[in-house]
């Protein structure tokens, strides 16, 4: 028996490897720095529930983490009430340097996986910079009542939005195929399973199988593909699901009325979600009396924060949440795992399109007034993160 226990201990030790994170950071003296779990997204989610792996105090601009891992995984550095920086935790020494006032810009060096992710990110993120530029210009011109310029800006915004989505998906797919043995490929596939769809996701997962079949994230992706399969593809009927409203009454989303139904998945801690709420409010005000309905499904876990955001954003339409966040079994079954994401359904609740921005939806609504779109029901699921 003693021999078995010792053998088991040796085997467990053989499966773990040590890591060190050596960091230098400005403007964080005596601040507590957290090492937390991450989904691998480079975006910051304000107020998102976190799982703390370790913590330390910054002394003389220096911090240090050390531990053991059984497999590579996604983590993030976070300062209390501050932003966070996601990166891949891998065996060996990783160097970190930067400024706490711009935590998301922190540099990660001596790390193969993080260098690969940065190369992938840079291959398409330039389009996002242009997207943000015209979004800011649009808002400025709208506020300045310069409608002609605002329309031009919105057209450029729509162009770069489509370009960004196209590049993001195509570049990520190319990366996964050309880097099957790198964890970043597995992590990115997990983020974009819903974008790729079940068939393409299965094909890409097969490419990664020889390298990651025993990785915990591989098994999660397998499960998500099964849930997603034949449920949210274009042409399929969107599955029914019930969620409590603000009074606790269960509401089946598919039973809600309206020739056009917009279903927005959001959270109070998601900055881009809150910006999109302004567009939904505009749609509700202009078209709410024309058999067009909105329902917002929150991925919050804090009821107080959820209700406060509803009030502050003047969301005067149906609001639902099971307050389980991204861990909600219903959201997992729907394949809801990244932000943003959306589906468009017709009158029979059949998926006719996926992944529209709020601005594109608003323009589509305007086109519908001219009979171009016709009597379509728009079922939009938008999950946003920054």
Q: Which residues contact 288 (CB under 8 A, 6 or more apart)?
A: 294, 317
Q: pTM of the entire structure?
A: 0.62
Is residue 221 included in any domain, yes or no? yes
Q: Would you state the pLDDT for residue 103?
A: 82
190 and 160, same domain (yes or no)? yes
One domain, residues 28 and 102: yes
In a domain, 316, yes or no: yes
Same domain assignment for residues 98 and 194:
no
Domain boundary among 110, 135, 163: 110
In this structure, are residues 195 and 225 in contact, taking their beta carbons and an 8 Å threshold?
A: no
Is residue 9 included in any domain, yes or no? no
Q: Count the domains in the chain.
A: 3
CA 375 to chain centre: 30
86 and 24 fall within a common domain? yes
Residue that has been written with the tokens 């974009």 in this structure: 192
Q: Which domain holds residue 130?
A: 114-228
Query: Which is nearest to 280 in space by CA: 267, 263, 268?
Result: 263
**What's residue 371's pLDDT?**
37
Which of the listed residues 171, 205, 228 is the one where a domain comes to its end? 228
Residue 61's CATH number: 2.60.40
Residue 8 forms part of a structural domain: no
State whether 254 and 360 are in the same domain.
Answer: yes
- Would you state the pLDDT for residue 135? 57
Calpha distance 371→198 (Å, rounded): 33
d(CA 131, CA 125): 10
| Residue 5, in any domain of the structure | no
Q: Which two tokens stand for residue 317?
A: 């339409």
Residue 369's pLDDT is 40
Domain endpoint, select from 181, 202, 228? 228
Q: Please calculate the CA angle 383-384-386 and round it to the nearest 5 degrees.
A: 155
CA 24, CA 59: separation in Å to the nearest integer?
10
Return averaged pLDDT per consecutive 10 residues of the chain, 386 residues in all: 39 71 94 88 57 93 95 90 83 94 88 93 73 58 58 58 77 94 95 86 95 93 78 75 91 78 82 83 80 84 92 93 83 70 74 71 52 37 35
For residues 28 and 26, what is the distance between their CA atoms, to the nearest angstrom?
6
DSSP per residue, 121-170: HHHHHHHHHHHHHHHHHHHHHHHTT-HHHHHHHHHHHHHHHHHHHHHHHH
Q: Check whether residue 131 and residue 175 sit in a common domain.
A: yes
**R_g over Cα of the chain:** 22
Instruction: Say yes or no: 124 and 105 in one domain.
Output: no
Clarify whether residues 102 and 147 are in a common domain.
no
Question: Is residue 162 included in any domain, yes or no?
Answer: yes
| 266 and 355 share one domain | yes
Q: Are residues 218 and 251 in the same domain?
A: no
Provide DSSP, 327-372.
G-HHHHHHT--SSS--EEE-TT-BEEEE---HHHHHHHHHHHHTTS
The confidence score (pLDDT) of residue 4 equals: 38
Question: 327: domain CATH number?
Answer: 3.40.30.10
Q: According to the model, what pLDDT value does residue 151 have? A: 55
* 6 inside domain: no
Farthest-apart Cα atoms in the chain, separation: 81
One domain for residues 362 and 253: yes
Signed CA dihedral, 44, 49, 51, 55: sign only:
positive
Phi, psi at 257, each rounded to 5°: -85, -175
Residue 376 lies in a domain: no
The two structure tokens encoding residue 244: 């409590």
Do 201 and 247 fall into the same domain? no
């Amino acid at each position: 028996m003693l021999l078995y226990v010792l053998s088991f201990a040796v085997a467990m030790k053989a499966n773990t490897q040590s890591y060190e994170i050596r960091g230098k950071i400005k403007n964080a003296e005596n601040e507590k720095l957290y090492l937390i779990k991450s989904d691998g997204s480079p975006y910051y989610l304000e107020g998102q529930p976190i799982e703390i792996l370790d913590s330390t105090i910054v002394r003389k601009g220096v911090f240090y983490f050390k531990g053991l891992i059984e497999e590579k995984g996604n983590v993030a550095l976070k300062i209390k009430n501050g932003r966070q920086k996601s990166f891949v935790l891998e065996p060996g020494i990783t160097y970190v340097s930067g400024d706490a006032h711009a935590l998301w810009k922190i540099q990660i060096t001596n790390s193969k996986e993080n260098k690969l992710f940065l190369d992938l990110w840079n291959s398409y993120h330039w389009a996002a910079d242009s997207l943000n530029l015209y979004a800011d210009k649009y808002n400025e011109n709208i506020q300045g009542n310069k409608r002609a310029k605002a329309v031009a800006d919105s057209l450029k915004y729509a162009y770069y939005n489509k370009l960004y989505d196209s590049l993001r998906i195509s570049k990520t797919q190319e990366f996964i195929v050309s880097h099957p043995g790198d964890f970043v490929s597995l992590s990115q596939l997990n983020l974009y399973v819903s974008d790729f769809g079940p068939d393409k996701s299965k094909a890409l997962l097969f490419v990664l199988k020889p390298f990651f079949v025993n990785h915990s994230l591989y098994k999660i992706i397998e499960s998500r593909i099964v849930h997603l399969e034949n449920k949210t593809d274009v042409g399929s009927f969107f599955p029914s699901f019930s969620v409590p409203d603000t009074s606790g009454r269960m509401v089946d989303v598919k039973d809600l009325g309206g020739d056009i139904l917009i279903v927005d998945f959001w959270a109070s801690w998601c900055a881009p979600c809150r910006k999109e709420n302004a567009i939904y409010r505009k749609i509700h005000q202009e078209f709410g009396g024309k058999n067009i309905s909105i329902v917002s499904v929150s991925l919050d876990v804090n009821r107080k924060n959820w209700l406060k955001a509803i009030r502050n954003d003047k969301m005067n339409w149906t609001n639902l949440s099971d307050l389980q966040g991204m861990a909600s079994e219903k959201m997992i079954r729907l394949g809801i795992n990244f932000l943003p994401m959306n589906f468009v359904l017709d009158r029979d609740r059949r998926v006719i399109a996926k992944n529209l921005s709020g601005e594109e939806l608003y323009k589509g609504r305007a086109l519908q007034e001219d009979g171009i779109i016709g009597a379509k029901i728009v079922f939009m699921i938008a999950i946003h993160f920054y």
